[in-house]
């Protein structure tokens, strides 16, 4: 605040003066900006403009009542007790054969072979055979006399499904109601890799006579 005083009627220093107060607007604006930057502007304004006798409190510090669901508040005691009962998960065998749409003759009378594909005779060799496949038993095949092609009336004869593990294939067969058996390949002994120098080694077990 700036106080300005003026002499009234005389130049005598003892003469009473008339004083008036004025506000310096630039300095006041700087003060309000500093309050806003410090985060205390809202609290200072509310405290200065409040006409009630209640002491101002920060709304963030006040605790609010927790929000409760109406269904929980209006629920009966029996329903609330039923919700707190422990539950036990019982494994049940899943069978989708009644709703899969497959005829019954292709469900109960079929047998599935679960196997790993054999080594390929082509250049790929053992590539893309590290999985388990299923195939159905053969039935109703005949040879076309005109073209010499083989035909079949079995809709499942050409169906092949691949799985990562044998357990996944077994679970798939049990879920569809098919009888199954696992055809495990014989584990052959891993052959020892021979290098080119063995052909020239002076060893009775490996050398070959030229006579």
Residue 139 CB neighbours (<10 A): 13
pTM of the entire structure? 0.47
Helix (H/G/I), strand (E/B), else coil: 47: helix
**Domain ranges across the chain:** 2-48, 87-211
Q: Closest Cα partner for 113 from 183, 177, 186? A: 183
Q: Which stretch, 31-40, 122-131, 175-184, has highest mean pLDDT?
A: 175-184
pLDDT, tens digit (0-9, with 9 covering 90-100), for 150-171: 888 888 888 889 999 999 999 9
Of the two residues 178 and 84, the one the predictor is more confident about is: 178
pLDDT, tens digit (0-9, with 9 covering 90-100), for 39-52: 555 555 555 555 55
Dump the DSSP string for 60-84.
Answer: TTSPPPPP--HHHHS--HHHHHHHT
């Amino acid at each position: 605040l700036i106080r300005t005083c003026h002499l009234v009627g005389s130049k005598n220093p003892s003469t009473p003066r008339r004083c008036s107060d004025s506000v310096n607007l630039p300095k006041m604006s700087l003060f309000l900006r500093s309050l806003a930057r410090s985060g205390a502007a809202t609290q200072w304004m509310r405290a200065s403009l409040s006409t009630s006798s209640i002491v101002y409190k920060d709304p963030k510090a006040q605790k609010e009542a927790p929000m409760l669901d109406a269904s929980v508040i209006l629920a009966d005691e029996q329903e609330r007790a039923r919700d707190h009962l422990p539950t036990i998960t019982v494994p049940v065998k899943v069978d989708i054969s009644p709703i899969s749409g497959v005829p019954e003759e292709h469900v109960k009378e079929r047998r599935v072979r679960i196997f790993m594909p054999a080594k390929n005779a082509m250049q790929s060799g053992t590539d893309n055979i590290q999985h388990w496949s299923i195939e159905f038993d053969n039935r109703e095949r005949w040879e076309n006399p005109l073209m010499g092609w083989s035909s079949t009336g079995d809709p499942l004869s050409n169906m092949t499904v691949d799985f990562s593990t044998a357990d996944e294939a077994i679970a798939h067969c049990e879920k569809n109601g098919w009888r199954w058996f696992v055809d495990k390949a014989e584990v052959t002994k891993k052959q020892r890799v021979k290098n080119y120098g063995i052909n020239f080694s002076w060893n009775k077990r490996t050398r070959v006579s030229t006579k």
